[in-house]
């Protein structure tokens, strides 16, 4: 395959991953904690993580921005620019930490050898993604939630345990499902898509 064909193929594949993310968030979005109904679980990050596993964290981040903007202008328009920005920050942190660390560990043969044999590369990168998303969203929710809800920080602070738990749950579920789907993909399909 020529470089041009490969580029066209990747753009088309990223279009498919974008469509999958939008369809998933359109049909599946539900609040986990009644105390914070504005925090809804959705599986839109799953295709983004798979894309990042296939093409690298930079492609995952590009897809994150595209999906966040499309979702923010269509499916989740009520959250406006803050919703778009929060989605970019949360999924961006998840994708960069998860797939970025995975790529780094797999490239460092001397260190990845021990981790690979123990099957820990995926676990370590998955945990890093969950921690990155949770930490990022904990901080950004302190800043943006008061603006979004039109309340003071005193109102947001009691919600922080829910916000942190929500992000751990969402990041973990989406990361585990994405990794499972990726691992179940036939090697020939992965090679064809890569």
Which range scores top for mean pLDDT: 3-12, 61-70, 149-158? 61-70
The CA distances from residue 164 to 45, 77, 128, 161, 169, in Å, are 17, 24, 15, 5, 9
pLDDT of residue 131: 98
Establish if 17 belongs to a structural domain.
yes
Euclidean distance between CA atoms 85 and 4, whole angstroms: 32
119: its two tokens: 């099957």
pLDDT in tens, 34-91: 888 888 999 999 999 999 999 999 999 999 999 999 999 998 878 888 889 999 999 9
pLDDT at 191 over 80: no
Whole domain around residue 56: which residue ranges? Answer: 3-30+42-193
Tokens 């995952």 locate to: 60
Euclidean distance between CA atoms 192 and 161, whole angstroms: 43
pLDDT in tens, 18-48: 999 999 999 999 999 988 888 899 999 999 9
The CA distances from residue 23 to 32, 59, 75, in Å, are 20, 20, 9
Establish if 66 belongs to a structural domain.
yes
In whole angstroms, how large is the CA radius of gyration of the chain? 17
Percent of the chain with pLDDT over 90: 66
pLDDT of residue 114: 63
Euclidean distance between CA atoms 19 and 44, whole angstroms: 10
The CA distances from residue 156 to 76, 90, 133, 164, in Å, are 22, 18, 18, 12
Number of domains, the chain? 1
Establish if 36 belongs to a structural domain.
no
Establish if 20 belongs to a structural domain.
yes
Establish if 37 belongs to a structural domain.
no
Residue pair 163/138 in contact (Cβ under 8 Å)? The answer is: yes
Residue pair 50/181 in contact (Cβ under 8 Å)? The answer is: yes
Return the higher-pLDDT residue of 29 and 113.
29
Domain harbouring 63, CATH code: 1.10.1760.20
């Amino acid at each position: 395959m020529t470089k041009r064909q490969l580029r066209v193929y990747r753009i088309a594949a990223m279009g498919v991953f974008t469509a999958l993310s939008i369809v998933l968030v359109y049909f599946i979005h539900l609040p986990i904690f009644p105390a914070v109904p504005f925090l809804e679980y959705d599986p839109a990050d799953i295709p983004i993580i798979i894309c990042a596993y296939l093409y690298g964290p930079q492609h995952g981040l590009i897809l994150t921005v595209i999906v966040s903007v499309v979702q923010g202008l269509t499916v989740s328009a009520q959250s406006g620019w803050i919703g778009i920005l929060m989605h970019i920050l949360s999924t961006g942190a998840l994708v960069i930490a998860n797939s970025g660390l995975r790529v780094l560990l797999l490239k460092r043969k001397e260190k990845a050898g021990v981790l690979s044999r123990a099957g820990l590369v995926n676990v370590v990168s998955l945990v890093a993604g969950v921690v990155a998303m949770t930490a990022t969203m904990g901080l950004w929710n302190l800043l943006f939630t008061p603006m979004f809800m039109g309340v003071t920080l005193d109102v947001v602070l009691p919600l922080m345990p829910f916000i942190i738990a929500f992000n751990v749950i969402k990041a973990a579920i989406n990361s585990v499902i994405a990794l499972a789907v990726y691992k179940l993909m036939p090697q020939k399909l992965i090679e064809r898509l890569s």
